[in-house]
Structure 1
Amino acid sequence: MTAKAILHMLSTLKHMSPFDVNMAVDAGYDVTIPYANVTIEEVPALVQDAMFSRAPSAALRTGIFFAGRDAVLALDMLDVAKKSLLKPFEVSLFADPYGSFTTAGAMVACVEKLLREKKQRELKGVKIIIYGATGVVGYSAGVIAALEGAQVTMAGYSGLDRVRKLTDEIEHRFNVKCTPADGSTGEAVRALLLDNEIALCAARAGVQVLSKEDLAAAKSLLIAADVNAVPPLGVEGCGLHDNGAVISPNGALGIGALAIGNVKYGTQSGLFKQMTDATQPLCLDFRHAFALARTLV
């Protein structure tokens, strides 16, 4: 009899995301067990307790998922978990805090496809501004784009110090450079838009980042993508389902939240399925999310 697929879901928050639980079950997990308020110090014991409770033949039917709302902490917890594994009991690991890795992977993959097909450009060398960069989706999208060779500027709404700490951390962790910027005023938001070719809007729900006037003023803008599905949308004039619609008089194209969301859904589901079908232990993060999203756009 095949061992049941069990997923232990660790969150640093008070609650595990119901979205993630539903995704895991629909992707093939028989049992999901949420753990709340988990600290990084507790990870080794939890991972090894799950690992040693099953025979090596059932190890790959066990998965550990890292949630929460902090991309850096999730990556650190993933690394601690990986170091806690012992052969031949190794289980699979997957980090996707607040769905940010799969959302960011989908966002950048959608932009990349549109950029190639409609603008005959690649991510490498393109100038990207990320609004809401101190959030988990903005952070993750910035790292993905920078690793692909884009010139990434990350704008924060709470002053320059916080976003500068993030860009310093990105350079230290991933050996890529992102430029910090202050996006705390409307004037600063527009000035940054005028100096870039791609705008990734990852601000909090219900906040309009770019107005029609901003878009009209941005003569060099090629694409604006928005992950906010709550009115008002992050990019005025960009519909939820838009995937290449013209949104400015200068020919900029828009990608809406649900167009990105469809790819995100397939990406997260696909990574869970990779875990349940694995023939060797997996350790999945935003890089794997982007790789899979590229095949889904």
Structure 2
Amino acid sequence: MKKILLQLDCDPLASVFDAVTAYDAGADVVLQYGNVTTENVVDLVYGVMFTRGGDKLKYSAIFIGGSNVSRASEILDVVKKTFFGNVRNSVMFDPSGCNTTAAAAVAKMTKACDVKGQKVVVLAGTGPVGQRAAAMFAMEGAKVVVTSRKFEKAQAAAEEIKATFGLEVQPFAAFDDESTTEALKGAVAALCTGAPGVTLIREPLWKANPSLKVLGDVNAVPPMGVEGMKSSYNGEVIEGKVMLGSMGIGGLKMRVHRTCIERLFERNDALFDAQSILEIAKELS
């Protein structure tokens, strides 16, 4: 029986990246829908819920993506409420690659350094990847600080993380060398999740920090978020710090993404969201 993936995207055009990854992971057919909303998603889900029964339900699965994580989250809520009893399909939630990217970064960084009970800083952590990474570090027992250039944005992100995951993180304004140095004081790990081409930690700052053990950067566009970072770094030790660049993190991200798609078709009641995707990333790292 063919493995059919229903790709639900809140953007006008469904992501080609997500479709190609799904095919590479073994999906036989990807049904792509853009402009998916909470109002029109139910009939799409019915199409995979009611066409196969019993053990065959597992051969139809759902992927929720798009660039707007809030809207995608609302769609996920409706999808979950549409299911009943054993009439359901496995679902993966990864809009903007937020879960797979964050999980890959956190898995690699926590493998390089034990963060339980330790301070970890997620710089420019107000976006989808930053918020998910902050939550995942907190799941691993870290004392997490989320920064933004404006305290109000960092505070809003902390409140969103609390509302979504029930986890506490500390907001902090880091807008220059002095405030960034203060944010990093006592931290064992720092992850940059800012906009492409924006440097968040200058090289003299991280080199002079005695507590930092691992630095991660998801930015692939020069200049890097961590000055002196190379996107190809995948565990190289520079000045006593383990360095993880976007390609080093991205390689694991793609493996995690494909593995989640593969496992969607093993059962009909799986949900791959932040915590379960992090567990897969730790397994593969």
If the length of structure 1 is used for normalisation, what is the TM-score?
0.89
> Measured at CA, do residues 259 and 90 of structure 1 come closer, stay the same or move farther in structure 2, by a change above 3 Å?
same
Contact 1:10 1:66 in 2 (8 A): yes
For 1:162 and 1:41, the matched residues in 2 are separated by: 30
Q: What aligned pairs does 1:92-241 form with structure 2 within 5 A after superposition? A: 92-115=90-113, 122-157=114-149, 159-241=150-232
The aligned residue for residue 9 of structure 1 is 7
CA-CA distance at 1:72 after TM superposition: 4.3
> Measured at CA, do residues 257 and 75 of structure 1 come closer, stay the same or move farther in structure 2, by a change above 3 Å?
same
For 1:187 and 1:16, the matched residues in 2 are separated by: 43
The aligned residue for residue 258 of structure 1 is 247
Contact 2:234 2:247 in 1 (8 A): no
Map Cα deviations across residues 126-151 of structure 1 (whole Å, 9 max, x no partner): 10111121111111100111112100
What stretches of structure 1 of length at least 5 have no aligned partner? 116-121
Map Cα deviations across residues 30-57 of structure 1 (whole Å, 9 max, x no partner): 1112221222333333212332233444
The aligned residue for residue 274 of structure 2 is 286
Stretches (4+) displaced over 6 A? none
> Bigger shift: 75-84 or 201-210?
75-84
> Secondary structure in 2 aligned to 1:295?
helix
Contact 2:189 2:215 in 1 (8 A): yes
The aligned residue for residue 119 of structure 1 is none
CA-CA distance at 1:296 after TM superposition: 1.3
Q: What amino acid is the match of 1:14?
A: P
> Secondary structure in 1 aligned to 2:40?
helix
Report the count of equivalent residues.
285
Q: What amino acid is the match of 1:18?
A: V
Q: What amino acid is the match of 1:241?
A: S
For 1:210 and 1:8, the matched residues in 2 are separated by: 41
For 1:163 and 1:37, the matched residues in 2 are separated by: 30
If the length of structure 2 is used for normalisation, what is the TM-score?
0.93
Q: What amino acid is the match of 2:59?
A: R
What stretches of structure 2 of length at least 5 have no aligned partner? none
Map Cα deviations across residues 161-203 of structure 1 (whole Å, 9 max, x no partner): 2221221122233221001112333432232123422111111
Work out the percentage of aligned pairs sharing the same amino acid.
33
For 2:24 and 2:235, the matched residues in 1 are separated by: 30
> Measured at CA, do residues 49 and 192 of structure 1 come closer, stay the same or move farther in structure 2, by a change above 3 Å?
same
For 2:14 and 2:197, the matched residues in 1 are separated by: 23
Contact 1:104 1:140 in 2 (8 A): yes
> Bigger shift: 66-75 or 209-218?
66-75
Contact 1:7 1:64 in 2 (8 A): yes
> Secondary structure in 1 aligned to 2:197?
coil
- CA-based RMSD: 1.8
